[in-house]
Amino acid sequence: MFIYKDKNGKTMTQAQVDALDKQYNGFLIVEFLSEELPMVVQVSAPSANELKLIKDLREEETQLLKSKLLNKPLPAFDLEGLSGKKFSNKNLLGKRTVLFFFSKNDYGSLSQMSRLHQFAQSQKDQAQFWAITFEDAVLIKDFLQKHPLAYEIIPNSFSFVMQDLGIMQTPVSMVLDRKGQVKFLTTSTQRHIDLVLKAELAKIK
């Protein structure tokens, strides 16, 4: 549960935040004022210059990611989840996999998490779900206690996310086939991303 406030401290409704989000194509600036329940989040819009720069960089990054990753295996990785479980390319073989690269301080990620949580719960027998972030394990663990996500959470992944993959902005979602190859990649901030992922997952036998 969130309480949204503008820069002047005035409370905003979910509908107002959604309208602002649509107006600025998901590129809202968010800051957590309190991470206790209910979380208090300050929401603001980027300036015209900031918006143009963000959109241009996002489009450039998206094209680079698709060129680098689509129909290819991920670069070699060896990561550790919050549970202590180890993750590597070998864990991708033989299973369909949905990846979610996120930041707890990104409104695009936050707006998708509730539906992705439900999606992963409903599809847990159909695929494995990993959520990967460069952020600190302790901070992410505290955050997820208040904002659950039914994915395997893999924190502290700065080198893999930013250097190996080249992901500089979140959210990013991917669907991988049973050979560990990326068959779908999106940087969309749309809230109903679960419907898109469900359709893409169904294409992989």
Give the CATH number, domain containing residue 104.
3.40.30.10
Nearest partner of 109 among 117, 99, 97, 101, judged by Cα: 101
Quick: pLDDT tens for 104-140: 888 888 889 999 999 999 999 999 999 999 999 998 9
- Asked if 175 contacts 150 with a C-beta cutoff of 8 angstroms, the reply is no
165-202: burial string, b at 16+ Cβ within 10 Å, e else: bebebbbbbbbbbeebebbbbbbbbbbebbeebeebbe
Q: Cα–Cα distances in Å, from 8 out to 43, 148, 170?
A: 10, 29, 26
For residue 63, tell me if it sits in a domain.
Answer: no
DSSP structure class, residue 92: G
Identify the segments of the chain with pLDDT beneath 70. Answer: 1, 25, 35
pLDDT score at 108: 84
79 and 164, same domain (yes or no): yes
| 152 lies in some domain | yes
pLDDT value, residue 130: 98
Give the pLDDT score at 1.
63
- Based on the fold, state whether residues 106 and 176 are members of the same structural domain: yes
- Token output for 145: 């206690």
Same domain, 28 and 108: no
Query: Do 15 and 87 share a domain, yes or no?
Result: no
Residues 8 and 108 in one domain: no
Answer whether residue 66 is part of any domain: no
Same domain, 13 and 94: no
Domain that holds residue 36: 2-44
Give the number of domains in the chain: 2
**Whole-angstrom distance, CA of residue 171 vs CA of residue 169:** 7
User: According to DSSP H, which parts of the chain are helical?
Assistant: 14-23, 48-69, 107-122, 137-146, 158, 193-202
Strand ordering across the sheet containing 2-5: 11-12, 2-5, 39-44, 29-34
Q: Domain check: are 107 and 181 in the same one? A: yes
User: Does residue 62 belong to any structural domain of this protein?
Assistant: no
pLDDT on residue 40: 86
| Cβ 133 vs Cβ 26: under 8 Å | no
Per the rule left: phi > 0, alpha: psi between -120 and 50, beta: everything else, 76 is: beta
pLDDT the model gives residue 195: 95
Q: Give the type of residue at 189.
A: T
pTM to 2 decimal places: 0.80
Angle at 166 between CA 162 and CA 170, to 5 degrees: 70
Structure confidence at residue 7 (pLDDT): 87
